[in-house]
Structure 1
Amino acid sequence: MHAFAIFQDDHTVTDVELPTPTPEGTEILLRVVRSGVCHTDMHLREGYYDLGSRGRLNLIDRGVTYPLVLGHEVVGVVEAAGPDADGVSPGEHRLVYPWIGDGSCDACQAGHENLCPSPRNLGVARHGGYAEFILVPHPRYLLDVTGIEERWAATLACSGLTAYSAARKALPATASDPVVVIGAGGVGLMAIATLRALGHEAVLAVDLQERNLELARQLGATTTISARQEDLAAAIVAGAGGPVAAIVDFVNNSTTAPAAFAALRKGGTMVQVGLFGGELVIPTALLTLKIITIRGSFVGSLGELEELVGLARRGALPHLPIIDGELSATAVQDALDRLAAGGVPGRIVLSA
């Protein structure tokens, strides 16, 4: 099969020929029809995460092996199934849940495979959806998205799920308490839409790009704030009418994280999602005196994706802007370069 892979220390996406997998046991083989492009792919291409003064976290030290076929936002058609794969039939269109654990740890047993210490994530630890076919280990990771536009459904597996899980963590008890979303790119825009779909009334969007802030307003942001402020924390507090209940940071760098911490009210929550890198230095006394909760959030559980698909099927979520492309080595390369340059208005989805 054709696949589009990256190699270690090489940013070039290469068209390679790989054996088409034969499903065994509970495995299912899907022909890829849609594959979304994500910032995580960009970090995988770079090969590391920025840890600020601690240097770099090299992904090969976390078990990532190259060459690697990226792509974890996948809708495909069932081609074949192993003898123990129940409940699927050839020709069915399914969304793939890619955040797969080892199945044996406490997190996996509790239904939180995204917290597994030994992940087998598709497109990260195993070959993903920038290919003609993708192999999924069990039917439970396949979701029926009948009635949902497939190009949009593909984005639910990562950007949608990441936004949904983070928004759920940030929701305060009172719907009118301000929640701030820092970063109104594809994931941040989905978080704004999700917060409104969950009934939250006051959502503040922060971004560098005016076009992203306009999209945020269209998706329900009640206030927008330019990140081009000398004192971003003060601008957030002023825009919210006071210190805020919760902030979800989809950038999470050395500029936005300190601003988020400073803008929170007593008892506030900051949910850190972005992987842009850097560090946050916290005055420990203020952490105690303000009773701040700091939470990391990485994608979401299978159960959360099922909930999100349910919201989408009911029409509760507005569609984000989708930038279409062809699933090819050149298109994957161009999409990753666009993400690296910043300012993509919405999500890029490639079609086979």
Structure 2
Amino acid sequence: MDGRGGPEVLRHGEIAEPAVGPGEVRVRVRAVALNHLDLWVRKGVAGPKLALPHILGSDVAGVVEAVGPGVQGVAPGEAVVVNPGVSCGHCERCLSGQDNLCPEYQILGEHRWGGYAELVVVPAANVLPKPQNLGFAEAAAIPLAFLTAWQMVVDKLQVRPGEDVLVMAAGSGVSVAAIQIAKLYGARVIAAAGSEEKLEKARDLGADEGVNYSRPDWFKEVRRLTGGKGADAVVDHTGAAYWEGVIKATAWGGRISLVGASSGYEALTPLSHIFYRQLTIFGSTMASKSRLYPILRWVAQGRLKPVLGSLLPLARAAEGHRLLEERQVFGKVVLEV
């Protein structure tokens, strides 16, 4: 990426091979998945002061090519999944298992060079063995989306068996993961999306009900499906356009976990609904690195699965950005390297 703007600022070219330092590993990238974060960085909404050129890409699967001094437990030739959250590793937050609250926290592809490349260098703590039942493209579709969804569903919302969970923007990578994780924890899932096609795919993935939020007063349908109660917990990253409806779709005493604002940051919040109906709103970003361990175990057992919406070569990254921006895919857009 050599500028800020539309997909046309993405360039395919040659750069120097990155050096591997103490405690680091160099991974030969086999696949890298796209996220909306890539779009925000490209536009300058996220990381507006980043030096250019910059390499995007948070979600990487590949093969360890080299290890730096002091690295143990990882060897060249191993197939790995890269955890995109990088932290200092020694502060109070990191040592308490809250490394995504580290003052020095960075996300691969946002704050440091990422995986739209043949090689990427990361701390050794950020690589885990690739599940043997997955190809590289499927493995690349896991980290950021599933980590984000796991923290929302499990750590923040603490979803329990029998609860009604509303998952907004059901076709996105995070929501595809959230649907599966909520079902894993015994919830009844109501998927919300802007097209019947995406809702049908969400049902195929395990969602129990579907609501089309392109319709007026869509939140009333959520309440109807829950016997007038509303959703006990909500996974949301849709932003200003749907925020008021999300609040009205939530049950008394319900919880909302918010991880993004795709349609805009300036939202109207009817405060009476928050205090009178005793709602709880959780902000959420990524998850502790430790959470990738149970996620990959469930993936290896076939209980969680990545969903590929489109597979393209790295040289067509701009096309991948357009697909994501125009919401033309259900699941992840992945680039093969």
Q: TM-score, normalised by structure 1?
A: 0.89
Q: Percent identity?
A: 30
- Please point out which of 4, 8, 24 is paired with 2:4: 8
Say yes or no: does 1:209 pair with 2:209. no
Mapping of residues 30-41 of structure 1, within 5 Å: 30-41=27-38
Cα distance per residue 1:195-237 (max 9 Å; x no partner):
112222x100010021110110001111101112211222221
Q: How many Å apart are 1:306 and its aligned residue?
A: 1.1
Say yes or no: does 1:59 pair with 2:47. yes
Conservation of the 8 A alpha-carbon contact between 2:25 and 2:66:
yes
Say yes or no: does 1:88 pair with 2:84. no
The residue that corresponds to 1:307 in the other structure is: 294
Q: How many Å apart are 1:304 and its aligned residue?
A: 1.0
The residue that corresponds to 1:293 in the other structure is: 280
Say yes or no: does 1:271 pair with 2:257. yes
Distance (Å, rounded) in 2 between the aligned partners of 1:250 and 1:338: 18
Cα distance per residue 1:80-119 (max 9 Å; x no partner):
1112111111111110111112334432222222222332
Q: How many Å apart are 1:10 and its aligned residue?
A: 6.1
- Please point out which of 94, 102, 109 is paired with 1:116: 102
Conservation of the 8 A alpha-carbon contact between 2:179 and 2:207:
yes
Distance (Å, rounded) in 2 between the aligned partners of 1:323 and 1:9: 23
Say yes or no: does 1:194 pair with 2:186. no
Classify the secondary structure of the residue corresponding to 1:195: helix
Classify the secondary structure of the residue corresponding to 1:41: helix
Classify the secondary structure of the residue corresponding to 1:158: helix
Distance (Å, rounded) in 2 between the aligned partners of 1:36 and 1:318: 15
Classify the secondary structure of the residue corresponding to 1:230: coil
Q: How many Å apart are 1:31 and its aligned residue?
A: 0.5
Aligned AA for 2:17? T
CA separation of 1:285 and 1:209: change in aligned 2, threshold 3 A: closer
Q: How many Å apart are 1:326 and its aligned residue?
A: 0.9
Classify the secondary structure of the residue corresponding to 1:339: helix
Say yes or no: does 1:338 pair with 2:318. no
Classify the secondary structure of the residue corresponding to 1:323: strand
Cα distance per residue 1:141-200 (max 9 Å; x no partner):
111123131221111111122122212133444x22211001112321221112112222
What is the Cα-based RMSD across aligned positions, in Å? 1.8
Conservation of the 8 A alpha-carbon contact between 1:103 and 1:113:
yes
Say yes or no: does 1:45 pair with 2:42. yes
Distance (Å, rounded) in 2 between the aligned partners of 1:15 and 1:222: 43
CA separation of 1:146 and 1:204: change in aligned 2, threshold 3 A: closer
Conservation of the 8 A alpha-carbon contact between 2:29 and 2:63:
yes
Aligned AA for 1:59? G
Distance (Å, rounded) in 2 between the aligned partners of 1:113 and 1:101: 6
- Please point out which of 168, 173, 176 is paired with 1:182: 168
Aligned AA for 1:75? A
Say yes or no: does 1:247 pair with 2:234. yes
Distance (Å, rounded) in 2 between the aligned partners of 1:306 and 1:104: 20
Q: TM-score, normalised by structure 2?
A: 0.92
**Runs of 5+ unmatched residues, structure 1:** 49-57
The residue that corresponds to 1:51 in the other structure is: none
Conservation of the 8 A alpha-carbon contact between 2:98 and 2:288:
yes
- Please point out which of 235, 238, 253 is paired with 2:224: 238
Say yes or no: does 1:165 pair with 2:162. no
Distance (Å, rounded) in 2 between the aligned partners of 1:318 and 1:134: 25
Classify the secondary structure of the residue corresponding to 2:16: coil
Say yes or no: does 1:71 pair with 2:57. yes
Distance (Å, rounded) in 1 between the aligned partners of 2:96 and 2:267: 31
CA separation of 1:240 and 1:95: change in aligned 2, threshold 3 A: same
Classify the secondary structure of the residue corresponding to 1:19: coil
Conservation of the 8 A alpha-carbon contact between 2:170 and 2:193:
yes
Conservation of the 8 A alpha-carbon contact between 2:240 and 2:261:
no
Aligned AA for 1:110? S
Mapping of residues 309-328 of structure 1, within 5 Å: 309-328=296-315
Aligned AA for 2:175? G
The residue that corresponds to 1:347 in the other structure is: 332
Conservation of the 8 A alpha-carbon contact between 1:27 and 1:82:
yes
Q: How many Å apart are 1:266 and its aligned residue?
A: 1.7
Classify the secondary structure of the residue corresponding to 1:262: helix
Distance (Å, rounded) in 1 between the aligned partners of 2:114 and 2:38: 11
**Runs of 5+ unmatched residues, structure 2:** none
The residue that corresponds to 2:88 in the other structure is: 102
CA separation of 1:283 and 1:211: change in aligned 2, threshold 3 A: closer
